[in-house]
Structure 1
């Protein structure tokens, strides 16, 4: 095939066969066609080695793929480096230590509020509220923003799934309006503004100037989209896995100190984030396939983190794996700056869930509904909680 010829499709990411069981389908693609083209996801990479090669070569594989300003996810060095230096201090050990008791109080209250002795819709009854309340508390956002944000996340997911550009533009504008309203409130309050992260970003500088509103909105959009949907998916995946694997659940109830490693391992097995994007800056070869400059590339985390050449049996639960191989939070210069916050939230959420319950079980005869790309985890998750 010539470089200018349109490639043929190797798979259809939206077909029923794929969406019925995404993890199994990605496993199959990793073996059958590890570098695969589709109109929907362009060139998809399924193997751990190929994904790592892209992550470790930002000059050849650019992150500037979005038509919207994306700080810092959609940037390359040196611009990316400047913005990362502003963002990383918000996830410092000191900030995490200050936020931990706030996080624990929210997790404790929600765990105590779960209905006992019958079927619980766990996503609606715990996971989504946990993600929303935790993130708004971290950012200093008011409670009356919870419901609009939940609606916004749903609309953003639907627009992303359909690829409707007009809908995506409307959803982006809606979010910008929320955040710019918060920024205006803090400016008007002056010295009386709450001492929160949102107000702090108004004082941050890039070079010799203050961050612009569009940059702050982009940072907060990334944190919100990245945290709310993904943390809710993570909590649902973790609870379901423990219900499905009572031996692991019992072990973690008896040894909660194992939770940090166990959480990362469960989320390696069952991905909360399916994919990420790059674009090639020059012609290159990947997995025996010629890739032209300007080729959009999708990194399938959900496959790379189950690659047998790195992890052996991908479904085997092990706590002795090399954490550097786990791509749960990415790798390279674009590894997730919010990983310390996510790990804190998930650890505390699971600690309180296990401490405030005696057992979590599957509901006989009631199957969960798996989420469909770009979402992960479950769209409905019935569980029994004692």
Structure 2
């Protein structure tokens, strides 16, 4: 079909929001990768499906800018040299020392959430485990009160619905709502003081270019951490638990050797991505997969496809722990790789460790059907297992 926008006439290759794509995103991306390695979409952007083309984009931040939104994003929505001083601040919150300090609390939160499950019994993973755990560890890491857990859970649903509908007014409203939660926590710390180990309080002491961070910058940093954490950790837990329930041989191997948990979760989330995509913007004309893309075009980096590219991974559904970790783009690559990757790995390790401690078996629940999440989310909306 052809799309006309002003004087521009373009051939539309696909619609990532079409019902047949949303019905099974991974299968749709696999099919597109085989037949159309880069596609111009109905939303007027380009989607890249292959691993090599994705790596090329990630390794060229000058040619593919991260400045893609009018809404401030610190530091992931910045290019060099502006990006560097903010990223240096962010990296200080994910050091081995800070994560070692958080680890006992993370472990306690994981055991608390798992302890609320009915064992033996049937459990809907997303509502009973994945979402409560994501909310608990987000609040725990940031030093926020438990009373924020349920509002954040409700907010995540509103944010997903607004993004799916592409209702810009609704998206703006939910963004302001979330910013309000952060600003309230900043004001409380200014008024009452806080433990120096409190992450939110510590951000109030940070400086960039010789001046303190302003509230808008802190809000943008925290929004980037927490919005990604809430949705992605919940999706990851659902994906991993479903995989273990349906792959008993993998479950048995991990129960027998829990030192494999981190490598295993990376591989499971390569197979089924918890985060669908990120955006870039071309700074000049480029050619990708034989197609010329003008400057100032939006390009979608599709993690859910690149990490399943047969030219790199062979059978993308085969679980293997001997793959080259550098090929796995789960946490990105290059200048804008995910600074919170060590925290995510810690959280997933602790929740699985707690789940294995509390159970002897995770199995598909008879007579139930899983429901896939819809774009822009990934993973499952519902997935029910039996815990033994």
The interval holding the TM-score normalised by the smaller chain is over 0.9
Q: How does 1:322-361 map to 2 (within 5 A)?
A: 322-361=324-363
Q: Identify the residue that residue 265 of structure 1 maps to in structure 2.
A: 267
Q: Is the 8 A contact 2:16 2:42 kept in 1?
A: no
Q: How does 1:38-53 map to 2 (within 5 A)?
A: 38-40=41-43, 42-53=45-56
Q: Secondary structure at the match of 1:276?
A: strand
Q: Identify the residue that residue 141 of structure 1 maps to in structure 2.
A: 144
Once residues 112 and 239 of structure 2 are traced to their aligned partners in structure 1, the CA distance between those partners, rounded to angstroms, is 20
Q: Identify the residue that residue 14 of structure 2 maps to in structure 1.
A: 11
Q: Are positions 1:310 and 2:312 aligned together?
A: yes
CA RMSD of aligned residues (A): 1.6
Q: Gaps spanning 5+ residues in structure 1: where?
A: none
Taking a change above 3 Å as real, the CA distance of residues 41 and 263 of structure 1, as seen in their structure-2 partners, is: farther
Offset from partner CA, 1:29-53 (integer Å, 9 cap, x none): 0011110011236100000011111
Once residues 380 and 6 of structure 1 are traced to their aligned partners in structure 2, the CA distance between those partners, rounded to angstroms, is 41
Cα offset, 1:16, TM superposition: 2.1
Q: Identify the residue that residue 376 of structure 2 maps to in structure 1.
A: 374
Q: Identify the residue that residue 296 of structure 1 maps to in structure 2.
A: 298
Q: Which moved more, 1:37-46 or 1:52-61?
A: 37-46
Taking a change above 3 Å as real, the CA distance of residues 38 and 168 of structure 1, as seen in their structure-2 partners, is: same
- 69, 74, 90: which one aligns with 1:71: 74
Once residues 110 and 160 of structure 1 are traced to their aligned partners in structure 2, the CA distance between those partners, rounded to angstroms, is 29
Offset from partner CA, 1:330-364 (integer Å, 9 cap, x none): 00100000001001001111111112111111012
- 278, 283, 286: which one aligns with 1:284: 286
Q: Identify the residue that residue 99 of structure 2 maps to in structure 1.
A: 96
Q: Identify the residue that residue 240 of structure 1 maps to in structure 2.
A: 242
Q: Which moved more, 1:306-315 or 1:8-17?
A: 8-17
Q: Are positions 1:106 and 2:112 aligned together?
A: no
Q: Secondary structure at the match of 1:6?
A: strand
Q: Identify the residue that residue 208 of structure 2 maps to in structure 1.
A: 206
Q: Are positions 1:165 and 2:144 aligned together?
A: no
Q: Secondary structure at the match of 2:366?
A: coil
Once residues 272 and 44 of structure 2 are traced to their aligned partners in structure 1, the CA distance between those partners, rounded to angstroms, is 20
- 251, 254, 260: which one aligns with 2:256: 254
Give TM-score, length-normalised by structure 2.
0.97
Q: Identify the residue that residue 129 of structure 1 maps to in structure 2.
A: 132
Offset from partner CA, 1:200-252 (integer Å, 9 cap, x none): 00000001100010010011111111101100000010000000001100111
Q: Is the 8 A contact 2:115 2:358 kept in 1?
A: yes
Q: Secondary structure at the match of 2:9?
A: coil
Q: Is the 8 A contact 1:186 1:193 kept in 2?
A: no
Q: Are positions 1:221 and 2:223 aligned together?
A: yes
Q: Which moved more, 1:266-275 or 1:16-25?
A: 16-25
Q: Secondary structure at the match of 1:7?
A: strand
Q: Is the 8 A contact 1:186 1:194 kept in 2?
A: no
Cα offset, 1:71, TM superposition: 0.4
Cα offset, 1:7, TM superposition: 1.9
Q: Identify the residue that residue 24 of structure 1 maps to in structure 2.
A: 27
Give TM-score, length-normalised by structure 1.
0.97
Once residues 152 and 115 of structure 2 are traced to their aligned partners in structure 1, the CA distance between those partners, rounded to angstroms, is 24
Q: Count how many residue pairs are aligned between Structure 1 and Structure 2.
A: 385
Q: Secondary structure at the match of 1:57?
A: coil
Q: Identify the residue that residue 185 of structure 1 maps to in structure 2.
A: 188
